[in-house]
Structure 1
Amino acid sequence: MLKEFTPEERKAVLGITFAVAVRMLGLFLLLPVLSPYLRNLEGASPQLIGLAVGIYGFAQAFLQIPFGYLSDRIGRKPVIFVGMLTYAIGSLMGGLASNIWTMVLARFIQGFGAVSSAMTALAADLTREEVRTRAFAHIGASIGLVFAFSITAAPVLAGYLGVPFLFYMTALLSLVATFYVMFFIPEPKVHASDREIKPSLSNILLLLKDPNQLVLNFSIALTHAFLTGIFTFVPYQLVYNYHFPKPEHFKIYLPAVLVSLAIMVPSTIFAEKRGKFKEVFLAGILSILVGFALYDLFRNFWGAVALVFLFFVGFHLLEPIVPSLLTKLTHRDVRGLALGFFNTTQFLGAFLGGVWGGFALKHGLAYLVVGGAVLCVLWLLVVYVWFSSVKIPKRAEAQEPQP
């Protein structure tokens, strides 16, 4: 998938992919093992354990827009440097934490390194329009592989080496990734005289009134709400209702991730080379909708497996398409700010999805599957109507956000 990149693009995409993968590795490795570990820290309570787990996402959501704006104003790499260094410091603190409040602070500092928008903007800046979706697919595939690795390796690594080792490992990898980005990936050369839109907080209004931004932000929020909602609800059901041991869950997740990644690669090329973004986008939503419908129909172990499998197919069809469309339809001078909004809605969606999944655990399966199906139908209609009026540029720079 990298053969059509120039050498400079290839180096940039590989470096940014490594940096993003390191960030996600730190998140995914801790997910299966963090809450049991926190229970044994001094001062731990269920509420504080939840705070320590969730405050990472809160900090990420809160800071994506400021970091995105700063990346437009002062450059991508300075923002990435500060964010990645902060993430490394937070990881070291997490490994050293002996009480729950120190861990809460460490997780907040980890989340303070909110460089997703700057990273995505840098990848967009350093790739041509005609290969940009493939660049995002490469980054998305790395996230999927990191997830697949994490759910299988985390319990083993934590069991033999301890949870603090996972914090230290991600801190070290973060520093290596920071070094690579700073010294081997160029800063996009955008001079003040070349700007058509000057960095200003008033640009926020431009983005808030742009229908393209609204549809794509809604899409990424819903995608990640489904991700956390499903993975709050389904693992619990697998263990306690379907009596499927937690160490065996990788037998469901790993094949689903690998198959969906295999589908993602040709679908991404099909969307970009033939301009079939609409078809791939709608197919992704439809796959998730069918997953909810099948779980509602069967309401058993195999229904849960079908939902997980079809969700991952839909998720990996959408994961490279949505940010690529955002960058294509956003003026380069406000790309960092736009991606700040994009990542903020993504993390807020993930937070709300967790609340939704917890509500479904308490009140019943129908709140997950029927609610999810209704949202998918609404989403499908919105995106179908939107595609009938939007013009996606192929090579030229995206136009200014609509006033």
Structure 2
Amino acid sequence: MLKEFTPEERKVVLGITFAVSVRMLGLFLLLPVLSPYLRTLENSTPMLIGLAVGIYGFAQAFLQIPFGYLSDKYGRKPIIIFGMLTYLVGSLMGGWVKDIYLMVVARFIQGFGAVSSAMIALSADLTREEVRTRAFAHIGASIGLVFAFSIVFAPVLAGKFGVPFLFYLTAFLTFLSILYLWLFIPEPKVHAKDREINPSLKNFLLILKDKNQLMLNFSIGVLHAYLVSIFTFLPYELVYTYQIPKIEHWKFYLPAVVLSLAIMVPSTIVAEKKGKFKEVFLLGVLFSFLGFLFHVLFKNLLGALAMLFMFFIGFHLLEPIVPSLLTKFTHRDIRGLSLGFFNTTQFLGSFLGGLVGGLSIKFGPSYLFGFGIVSSLLWLAITYLWFEREEVQAKLVPKG
């Protein structure tokens, strides 16, 4: 897929993919091993362990919009590099602290640099519209591969070198990504006289009233609610219902990730080159629905694995397309702010997914499956009606 990018676009896509992968690596590598490690820290309590794990996502959720707005106003690269520096500092601090209170601070500093919106906006600014979905597909594929790597190797690395090593590894890779962004990726040239919309707090209202933004925000929120709810409930189910030890779970996760990534590549090309965004989008939602439905119908390990595979296929069909569509419908002058709202909704969806998964563990899986089936049917209907709008169809005519 890289051959269709210009040399400059290739540098942009590779650099931003690396930077996003580093942030995701820091998150995914720590998730399987962080809670047991936090228990060994001074002054540790269950409540503070939960706070140390969750405060990263809290900071990310509530700072995406300010960082996105600042990237519109002051430029993408300065804001991204500042955010990556805070992530580097938080990672170094997380490696050396031995007290749970200081770890909470370190995790907040890690999450403070909420620059995902600015990174996606920078990628959109520096790539042509006709290849933008493929650029996002590279980023999405990198996240999937980082996830697969983490579930297999995080326990091994933590067991051999210790959890602090994972923090330091993340800090080092973050430093490399800062250097690459600083040296090799240009700042988009936007002059005040070229702006149609100047940075202003009034732009918040523009985005809050935009039907396209609301539809795509809803989509990314639901998609990540599914992701977190499934991965809150499914590991518990595999261990306590089917007696499969956690160390064996990667044997299910890895094939599901690899298969779904293999499907993502051609589907992204079809959506972008042939203008089949509607078909690929609806198919992604349908796979999510079928995953929940199959688990309900089979009520056994086969049903659980069907849900896993179906969900990952749906997830990777949608993950590159949803932000790409957002950049098509959002004015370039408020792209950072728009993506800030988008990513905030994504993290809020993750929070909702955690609640649904927790309720399913405590009170039974009907909470997860009821939520998944009802919301995916609603999502299918909303998506179909949205794509039928003339404004949407006009925007999605293939270019190039």
**Interval of TM-score (by shorter of Structure 1 and Structure 2):** over 0.9
Partner of 1:310: 310
Letter of the aligned partner of 2:172 in structure 1? L
Tell me what 2:247 maps to: 247
**Structure 1 equivalent of residue 127 of structure 2:** 127
User: 1:96 Cα shift?
Assistant: 0.8
Deviation at 1:395, TM superposition (A): 7.4
CA distance in 2, matches of 1:125, 1:226: 30
Q: What residue in structure 2 maps to residue 269 of structure 1?
A: 269
Tell me the equivalent position of 2:41.
41
38-47 or 104-113, larger mean C-alpha shift: 38-47
- Map of 2:285 onto structure 1: 285
Gaps of 5+ in 2: none
Tell me whether 1:358 sits opposite 2:324 in the alignment.
no
Q: What is the CA–CA distance in structure 1 between the aligned matches of 2:215 and 2:67, rounded to whole Å?
A: 22
Asked if structure 2 preserves the Cα contact closer than 8 Å seen for 1:285 and 1:376, the reply is yes
Instruction: Find the counterpart in structure 1 of residue 179 from structure 2.
Output: 179
- Preserved contact between residue 57 and residue 347 of structure 2 (Cα < 8 Å): yes
Q: Which amino acid aligns with 2:186?
A: P
TM-score (norm 2): 0.98
| Partner of residue 399, structure 1 | none
Cα distance change, pair 257–292 in 1 and its aligned pair in 2 (3 A): same
Partner of 1:168: 168
- How far does residue 267 in structure 1 lie from its aligned partner after superposition? 0.1
CA–CA distance in structure 1, aligned partners of residues 304 and 71 of structure 2 = 41
Deviation of 1:301 after TM superposition, in Å, equals: 1.5
The yes-or-no answer on 1:83 pairing with 2:83 is yes
Q: Which residue of 2 aligns with 1:191?
A: 191
Question: For 2:93, what is the secondary structure of its paired residue?
Answer: helix
Alignment of 1:3-402 (within 5 A): 3-389=3-389, 390-391=392-393, 392-393=395-396
CA contact (8 A) 1:329 1:393 kept: no
Equivalent AA in structure 1 for residue 21 of structure 2: A
1:203-234 alpha-carbon deviations (Å, 9 max, x no partner): 01011111000000000000101100000000
How far apart are the structure 2 equivalents of 1:98 and 1:251? 34
Superposed CA offset, 1:177-208 (max 9, x none): 01100111000001000000010010010111
CA distance in 2, matches of 1:367, 1:191: 51
Structure 1: gaps of 5 or more residues: 397-403
Post-superposition offset of 1:393 = 4.5
Q: Which amino acid aligns with 1:307?
A: M
Do the aligned partners of 2:272 and 2:398 also contact (CA within 8 Å) in 1? no
Q: Distance in 2 between matches of 1:302 and 1:31?
A: 26
TM-score, with structure 1 as normaliser: 0.97
- Take 2:207 and 2:180, find their aligned partners in 1: how far apart are those partners? 32
Tell me how far apart the structure 2 counterparts of residues 320 and 272 of structure 1 sit (CA, whole Å): 11
For residues 184 and 277 of structure 1, what CA distance do their matches in structure 2 show? Answer: 32
Task: Report if aligned partners of 2:225, 2:351 keep a CA contact under 8 Å in 1.
Answer: yes
Q: Distance in 2 between matches of 1:57 and 1:395?
A: 36
Query: Aligned AA for 1:78?
Result: P
User: 2:331 corresponds to which letter in structure 1?
Assistant: H
Contact 2:90 2:108 survives alignment (8 Å): yes
Q: Secondary structure at the match of 1:3?
A: helix
Cα separation, 1, equivalents of 2:219 and 2:43: 39
Whether the 8 Å contact between 1:285 and 1:380 is mirrored in structure 2 is: yes
* Cα distance in 2, alignment partners of residues 170 and 215 from structure 1: 34
Deviations 1:372-393 (A, max 9, x none): 1100000010010000002325
Shift of 1:394: 5.0
1:129–1:394 contact (8 Å) kept in structure 2? no
Letter in 2 for 1:348: L
Q: Deviations over 1:17-36 (max 9, x none)?
A: 00000000000000111011
1:401 — aligned with what?
A: none
In structure 2, how many angstroms separate the alpha carbons of the residues matched to 1:352 and 1:286? 21
| Alpha-carbon distance between aligned partners in 2 of 1:113 and 1:311, rounded to the nearest angstrom | 30
Distance 1:366 1:295 in 2: 11
Q: How many residue pairs get matched? A: 396
**Letter of the aligned partner of 1:290 in structure 2?**
L
The one-letter code of the counterpart of 1:21 is S
Determine what percentage of the aligned residue pairs are the same residue: 72
**Conserved? CA contact 1:296–1:370, under 8 Å:** no
Q: Is the CA contact (8 Å cut-off) linking 1:289 and 1:373 kept in structure 2?
A: yes
Rounded to whole Å, the distance in 2 between the matches of 1:222 and 1:393 is 23
